[in-house]
Structure 1
Amino acid sequence: MGHLAVLATCSLNQWALDFEGNAERIIESIRIAKEAGASLRVGPELEITGYGCLDHFLEGDTYLHSWEILAKIIAHEDCQDILLDIGMPIGHKNIRYNCRVIAHNKRILLIRPKIYLANDGNYREMRYFTGWGRTKYVEEYYLPRIIMTITGQRKVPFGDAAISTLDTCIAPETCEEMFTPNSPHIGMSLDGIEIMTNSSGSHHELRKLQTRIELMTEATKKCGGIYLYANQQGCDGDRLYYDGSAMIGINGKIVAQGTQFSLQDVEVITATVDLEEVRSFRFAPSRGVQAVQNTPYQRIEVDISISAPSDRAEISLKPTPTIDIRYHSPEEEIALGPACWLWDYLRRCGGVSGYFLPLSGGIDSCATATIVHSMCRLVHEACENGEEQVIKDARRVCGEPEESTWVPRTPQELAGRIFHTCFMGTKNSSADTRARAKELADAIGAYHIDLDMDFLVKAVTDLFSLVTGKRPQFRVHGGTKTENLALQNIQARLRMVLAYLFAQLLPWCRGKQGGLLVLGSANVDECLRGYMTKYDCSSADINPIGGISKTDLKRFISYATAKFNLPILHSFLTAIPTAELEPITSTYVQSDEADMGFTYDELSTFGQLRKNHKLGPWSAFNRLLHEWGDRMSPRAIATKTRNFFYYYAINRHKMTVLTPAYHAEQYSPDDNRFDLRPFLYPPFSWPFRKIEETVAAINAREKMD
């Protein structure tokens, strides 16, 4: 029998600046951990404030309220007799830090500031915080009076240190630090620290969880040790969805894993681990050579034990066995991540009673509607499982009185009350798209309306003709490119006006309170290419597919056809993608890919080269010569490259009004903070000239051969 300890970590659905709600969820997680017999509870990064406060981290109020909430937590009767690892921002010597506070029985043992800050992609931590930068360095922090009155302490250690208990040693690292080449856990393990914690605010991105788990298991696969990973879970007020997956590992093996997508506000996982397993794992001579050369951490001593007393351990405890890690397929991630994000957004948006979606009969709006159906399925399942918070939120969103006992009997019943769809047809719409939209709405239970807006389009064009004396014509009727584009855009923009009108008044028509949030349905590839009308029906309140590629959306629809038993989805997959903004003739049907000059797969490739691989036009062209050279001529590759960057540049301004979208792809063009590039570009004349010279040289060599 070794030294057995029950440890707890958690995923919390925190909300930026919801200090009271965040405190309740933290206390509840501590309560659950204690009931499971845990001696250590680890929470997510910045859990007191929520991670996504953005520039509110520059405000003194945020730091004051954080201390006030911490005081409430550490003084709470349910938060005693357990070692607590809590995340919050702290100001020290007029510098802002992202910190962990280690506390036990109304005493603060250590404040550990984050050493390495996340500052790429969606993260701008250096805008708000300063990295500690001084590893294994500790100084004194003078506590605010509100804390002094509770702890009786005037000052506490502040810096990179470890907690030494009677039976083991514990030290924290925070989120980004696990991703760095020389992670703190390396030095920690060499210094004999046996339990390492990681508190994160890590967002969901398709196929990202594998990377995170590989890094976590690798942290102890070579070094040995126990690793506790905590994470935020849910939408805390922005485009990101934090995808939980709290985990506990030992010596490179996972023994506990939480859910990646969940409607629960508090999820706590526990595991019983044997400290002796760590010690025997580390008894390797080569490790010993490096360990004796390692500079030590300052240890903060505390007279408590993490492991259970031997008599209790012999009776009731045994080590938690290794588990198989659970991964969702990308199709499942699309079904679950945006659905959970939509539910959080809806339940936290005051005065809102549901969603409105312009349902065109195309695959993008179909995917959006299917994600809402997935949301309804998750909510219905949670209600059936008796999850009180979900039931309470569902009743409130549906306008039920507080004393109501109503719960949705099916996902369709819920959708009928909160999801509204509308087919906005014109004479350019086909009967097929109209029928597909209605059949899908019926299958998922949405409240659907069908309208024709030709008279509205005619009224606007008649007004233009009255004022100017000119009447624009479509290209198929002899009009110019300019006329043709203007006539398409007016249809799209009028749909946006109608969407917001119906979103505001449909609940009123049905005798309900509140308005509806308008959903957009432009995918990441169309945004990247700019194949969308500015201020059209893709301009909405939020967009669940705006960060997802067309390729992944098609796979998702194929998956959902069988998973959700929606055979109507198959017809969306086989239909040619079309905007249906031009007249259909016997010889012409508008096609998205023909209009764009790219397939959606090609757009995905350019998006990845531009953002993920950080390639400009010249480097992208050279890379594609190798990747596409076996099926496309240098001239064709050059044309594709020039056209992509040309259209990307002239349409970049559209990203300044892009609907806030669920973040899912690394090459998202969202210019709000993920893709910080200009929206007014000069011509790419220099790289384009180099591309042309290269094509000419290749052609000349081929003629000589």
Structure 2
Amino acid sequence: MGRKAKIAACTLNQWALDFKGNLSRILSSIQEAKESGARFRSGPELEICGYSCEDHFYESDTLLHCWEVLVEIIVSPLCQDILVDVGMPVMHKNVTYNCRVIFLNRKILLIRPKMLLCEDGNYRESRWFSPWKKVRLVEDYYLPRMIQAYTGQQVVPFGDAVLSLKDTCIGFEICEELWNPQSSHIPMSLDGVEIIANGSGSYFELRKAYVTVDLVKSATFKAGGCYMFSNLRGCDGQRVYFNGCSCIAVNGHITNRGKQFSLAEVEVVVATIDLEDIRTYRNAIRSRSHLAAESPSFPRINVDFSISEDSDVPCFVPIDWQYLTPEEEIEMGPACWLWDYLRRSGQGGIFLPLSGGVDSSSVACIVFSMCNMIVNAVQSGDETALADVRRIVCDSDYTPSNARDLCNKIFVTCYMGSENSSALTKARANSLASAIGSYHCSISIDIAVTAVLGIFTTATGLIPKYRSQGGHAREELALQNVQARLRMVLAYLFAQLMLWVRQRSGGLLVLGSSNVDEALRGYMTKYDCSSADINPIGGISKADLRSFLKHMSEKYDMPVLLEILAAPPTAELLPLSDGRVTQTDEEDMGMTYSELSVYGRLRKQNFCGPYSMFCKLVHTWKGSCTPQEVAEKVKHFYQYYSINRHKMTVLTPSCHAETYSPDDNRFDHRPFLYLRTWDWQFKAIDEQVQRLSLSDDKKTKVNEDAHEKCPAAKANASCVDTGMGKRKRAIDINKLLTYQNNQEIPHQNSKKMFTGVTNNYDVDTDTD
């Protein structure tokens, strides 16, 4: 029989400062939990106000409104006879804490503050909150008068305590406390806490879903017990996407879980657990029992309430967690983020400059994926999704029949060609637009370019030319950038007026399509089409986008995507030669996209400066590059990283996905003005190259001596090929000329040498 307890972990799509909407979703989750028979409900971190309030946490208004919402929850009839755990900020003794507030039948039982704050990645919690440092201590918290009027309480316990119910003991962690090496769940479990609830605000990154799952499982594997993980979902006002995955684990096994990506605003994960299973499991681990016997006690709040019953209701059995592939994560994660942004922004749809390259095509496919998810949600009975769609398209009777139909309603794509654009890219853009159903148009920007250049010529009497036409590097760069910037101007013009053309009210969100590698390198023109309202792929690498397009081609039978993948990435800003492009991204950048990903991860994840990056890569690339070549590659990257870093200050807000994003607005707090010569660091690299060269010469001499002394070896090897004949001529970094002179700067690609230009403000590129 056992003692069976039914509990509920909730996933909510909250929105920062949307107190009315957040209240509605919290109450819906409590109702759903109660209808399922659950006697304990736990929700995500800071669910009342939304996680991303940021500096609004300084405002007394935010704290006041949280208490007002809490009153509405406490007095709701839905909360009768169910133990409820909600997240909100609370100020105690003039210090603001990130807290869990636990109540039952109009009585607050405990306010439990967060003890370990998250300070890495996109998190800056200590900017607004302080950690509770008084381990196993509680204090009296004097409730606001508005709460006292309904609860009849003047003070409640505040601090590090647990709830002692009639049948079990419940403890609490908050997000980072699960990740920390000194997690609270271990000492709590040793003190007899059987259920631990964690309200979390954990965001999406590619290939990271397993981390939370492993932590939740291991939290109960070593010490036994039940762990409830309740996470946020959606874009609540920032670059991150909270990806759900709420789950319940018992004794090292997941018993139930929520979806990673979904348009549902409320999802409740329920599990029936047998408390006797926990006790049996723990008692069998003798070393744990011996530790528990001497474990110090937590303050216990006695609660006259049971969450279990003697019954023969079957418990949930362990399940296997099926992880999404990175391609599926790209298909769904940014799509959900984009949908939240669109429906909450009040705009009437989306506009995308579609060039027919990998990047803009990836954005188009993400929008198509979003439309697929919306249609599926509507067809499954999601009234909220249907209401949002009807409001966006301004048609109270509209119901989307399929993704292409919805795409045509809300998605406008535009190919912005010039005399430098090839017929192939235009054809690919048209084919993709037709495949996904977007409302598509093709325009030429030549008239606008001619007009702008005409103004310059009238003012100066000079006509800038491309280098192939006898012009200078500075002239060519200016000619490329004027095309790129005019595309941005036209994108916003069309976004504001295309719904007017279609006899609908409202405007369109402008989407950007530069990837994380281009941002890292600064390979974009400032205020070109990389400047947009939001960018779904700004946190995704080129390599992942290519894999994503292949996945979409196979899943939705779109062969045009394979044609796009086969074409070399190009900005198409230079004159064509016999109708063919003369420009590729990788030659312009002086590095490959795969190399950029390596630089990005070493710089951000491994915290490498120029010298340490060289020391790592000289071994990693030993088989393909000499130390001198590695040195020049690293220097070349840091030269362009530093001169283009300022572009990150205006980078379009992007859906965070990669761990090496250079977005300085949130994820990467580094300077945007650098000493571009990196004198001390590059000198250290040069000295290390010299040491390695001397070492190689010494090894070569030893080998030659060995051959001379060994007749057999000498006979079998007529010569020793050191590979020097294949080594490329090294670039002397000291010969790089300054921006002020605007001279040509040598670049080194992975396979050949070529000439390019630098500019402290712009690097010629288009949307792809």
TM-score range, shorter chain: over 0.9
- The aligned residue for residue 520 of structure 2 is 528
Secondary structure, aligned partner of 1:29: helix
1:696 equivalent to 2:693? Answer no
1:397 equivalent to 2:392? Answer yes
- The aligned residue for residue 428 of structure 1 is 420
The amino acid across from 2:414 in the alignment is: C
Offset at 1:285?
2.1
Offset at 1:233?
0.4
- The aligned residue for residue 172 of structure 1 is 172
1:338 equivalent to 2:307? Answer no
Matches within 5 A, 1:378-417: 378-401=373-396, 404=397, 406-417=398-409
Give, in whole Å, the separation in 2 of the partners of 1:353 and 1:182. Answer: 48
- The aligned residue for residue 320 of structure 2 is 324
* Percent of aligned pairs sharing the same letter: 55
Q: CA RMSD in A?
A: 0.9
Give, in whole Å, the separation in 2 of the partners of 1:104 and 1:685. Answer: 65
Matches within 5 A, 1:287-366: 287-308=288-309, 310=310, 313-314=311-312, 317-350=313-346, 352-366=347-361
Matches within 5 A, 1:474-513: 474-513=466-505
Deviation string 1:604-647 (CA, Å, 9 cap, x unpaired) is: 00000000111100000000011111111111111110011110
Matches within 5 A, 1:17-416: 17-283=17-283, 284-308=285-309, 310=310, 313-314=311-312, 317-350=313-346, 352-401=347-396, 404=397, 406-416=398-408
Deviation string 1:336-382 (CA, Å, 9 cap, x unpaired) is: 000001111111112x1000000011100000000000000000111
Matches within 5 A, 1:561-572: 561-572=553-564
Offset at 1:478?
2.2
C-alpha contact 2:334 2:536 (8 A) present in aligned 1? yes
- The aligned residue for residue 539 of structure 1 is 531
Give, in whole Å, the separation in 2 of the partners of 1:511 and 1:588. Answer: 38
1:686 equivalent to 2:680? Answer yes
Give, in whole Å, the separation in 1 of the partners of 2:641 and 2:111. Answer: 47
Give, in whole Å, the separation in 1 of the partners of 2:437 and 2:7. Answer: 44
The amino acid across from 1:371 in the alignment is: I
Give, in whole Å, the separation in 2 of the partners of 1:94 and 1:512. Answer: 51
Secondary structure, aligned partner of 1:322: coil
Match of 1:591 among 584, 595, 607: 584
Match of 2:655 among 642, 659, 662: 662
Deviation string 1:258-295 (CA, Å, 9 cap, x unpaired) is: 00100001000101000011101111221122112321
The amino acid across from 2:519 in the alignment is: C
Match of 1:575 among 559, 567, 571: 567
- The aligned residue for residue 552 of structure 2 is 560
Give, in whole Å, the separation in 2 of the partners of 1:701 and 1:82. Answer: 73
The amino acid across from 2:640 in the alignment is: Y
Q: Show structure 1 runs of 5+ residues with no match.
A: none
Secondary structure, aligned partner of 2:112: strand
Match of 2:447 among 432, 448, 455: 455
Structure 1 residue runs of 4 or more that deviate by more than 6 Å after TM superposition:
none
Give, in whole Å, the separation in 2 of the partners of 1:277 and 1:599. Answer: 55
Give, in whole Å, the separation in 2 of the partners of 1:620 and 1:133. Answer: 38
Q: Which has the larger radius of gyration?
A: 2
- The aligned residue for residue 609 of structure 1 is 602
Offset at 1:696?
2.2
Q: Which shifted more, 193-202 or 453-462?
A: 453-462
- The aligned residue for residue 709 of structure 2 is none
Match of 2:641 among 640, 643, 648: 648
- The aligned residue for residue 630 of structure 1 is 623
Give, in whole Å, the separation in 2 of the partners of 1:162 and 1:516. Answer: 50
Offset at 1:588?
6.4
Secondary structure, aligned partner of 2:348: strand
C-alpha contact 2:572 2:581 (8 A) present in aligned 1? no
Offset at 1:466?
1.4
Give, in whole Å, the separation in 2 of the partners of 1:52 and 1:231. Answer: 14
Give, in whole Å, the separation in 2 of the partners of 1:34 and 1:282. Answer: 29
Give, in whole Å, the separation in 2 of the partners of 1:88 and 1:367. Answer: 38
The amino acid across from 2:687 in the alignment is: E
Secondary structure, aligned partner of 1:515: coil
Deviation string 1:275-328 (CA, Å, 9 cap, x unpaired) is: 0111011112211221123211011001111112x2xx23xx111011111211
Offset at 1:675?
0.4
Corresponding residue pairs, total: 696
Deviation string 1:190-246 (CA, Å, 9 cap, x unpaired) is: 101000011101110111111111111110111000000000001111111100011
C-alpha contact 2:138 2:161 (8 A) present in aligned 1? yes
Deviation string 1:389-426 (CA, Å, 9 cap, x unpaired) is: 0011111111113xx2x210010110101000000000
Deviation string 1:26-59 (CA, Å, 9 cap, x unpaired) is: 0000000000000100000000001011110110
- The aligned residue for residue 612 of structure 2 is 619
